[in-house]
Amino acid sequence: MMNTPIPSRQDYLIKTFGLKFPILAGGLMWLSDANYVSACARAGILGFITAASFPDEGDLRNEIRKCRQQSNGAPFGVNVSMLPKLVPGEKTEDVFRLIIDEGVQVVETSGRNPEPYVKLLKDGGVKIIHKVPAVKYAQKAQQIGVDAVSIVGAECGGHPGEEMIGSMVNSILALKRLNIPYFIGGGIGHGAQIVAALSMGASGVVIGTRFLVAEEIWAHPDYKKALIHASESDTALIMRSIRNTVRAFKNHTTDYVQAIEREQSDITIDMLLPHVAGKIGKTAYETGDVTKGVLSAGQSLGMTDKITSLANIIATLKDEYQAALSRLDHFDGKVSQ
């Protein structure tokens, strides 16, 4: 067996965006800013500024321009997380028009069906990668004409969906059911997993948690140290009672919310909001006090080992990737009859 990279589905990321390594750095609320996303671009992977982190359109426009200046001509995208239902005053279409106006090549959409915006984005020359928690939603996204999908499994930080389907299962179901390029996320933090995902037909992987300890992430060093000292067991699932499940770093907030969900019935988002509001999590990033707030983190916490540059993390992933390919070299591929 030759020691050559396993081909991905049409080498989508390499051919479409000229990337050096098939990784999407999924949008991280409050954290995916120009400094971090441009570091992704320079490292040869695709990152996304989180539009929701910059609710003022002028701030978002400035962040996109700053990212472009720092990316040395390499591509980057914008993450647009839509609420599950359209609400009065929502500015999703305005955000998409701003993205088009700024010449951004690709968006990462999530939260609800992006169908109302597909024509607008495609007419504007923007590629659409839609993020979903299960293959059945990816099939719907394929039908409405998105360019690619990210499928994040039960192991992921943030929203793993309500059915909690693991990444290995998602990978094979996607291989069987999808024709468009797809990326596998959820618990991905090692180069060997990239080889595995590609071998199962994916066009790459989605990584979030593993990158939280990058130097380019602006969060407080004490926050990053807490992640490094954590293990794959130090996450908790909350908000299942309102069908908005979140996997987060285990802390006082997750313990308290789980207790409410065990002990009370007819729970509403209004009951939980004082504990799970995003601004509480942002404060944790600012201060390093990780005891409070919903701090999205996946089971790849077990793979965070030190604070270092994003470029160094990517270099480690590449070494692990090559080592995995070398292990395959020693397997002749024959199956006993």
Q: For 183-229, how does the pLDDT look when each residue is reduced to its tens digit (9 = 90+)?
A: 999 999 999 999 999 999 999 999 999 999 999 999 999 999 999 99
**CA-based nearest residue to 293, from 269, 257, 324:** 257
According to the CATH classification, is domain 9-215+307-329 in 3.20.20.70? yes
The pLDDT of residue 143 is above 80:
yes
The pLDDT of residue 79 is above 50:
yes
Q: What's residue 250's pLDDT?
A: 98
Question: Bridge partners of 127?
Answer: 106
The pTM of the full predicted model, rounded to 2 decimals, is 0.94
Q: What's residue 8's pLDDT?
A: 45
Average pLDDT over residues 241-270: 94
Average pLDDT over residues 289-316: 97
329 versus 255: the higher-pLDDT residue is 255
pLDDT-derived band of residue 90, with 50, 70 and 90 as boundaries? confident
pLDDT above 70 as % of the chain: 95
> Would you kindly state where each structural domain of the chain is located, as residue ranges?
9-215+307-329, 235-296
Rounding to the nearest 10 degrees, give the CA dihedral for residues 110, 114, 32, 38.
130
Q: How far is CA 216 from CA 138, 197, 277, 287, 335, in A?
A: 31, 26, 25, 17, 46
Task: Supply 58's token pair.
Answer: 């002028």
Helix residue spans in 160-309 (DSSP H)? 167-177, 191-199, 221-229, 252-263, 269-276, 278-287
Give the lowest-confidence range in 144-153, 171-180, 265-274.
Answer: 265-274
Q: What's residue 334's pLDDT?
A: 65
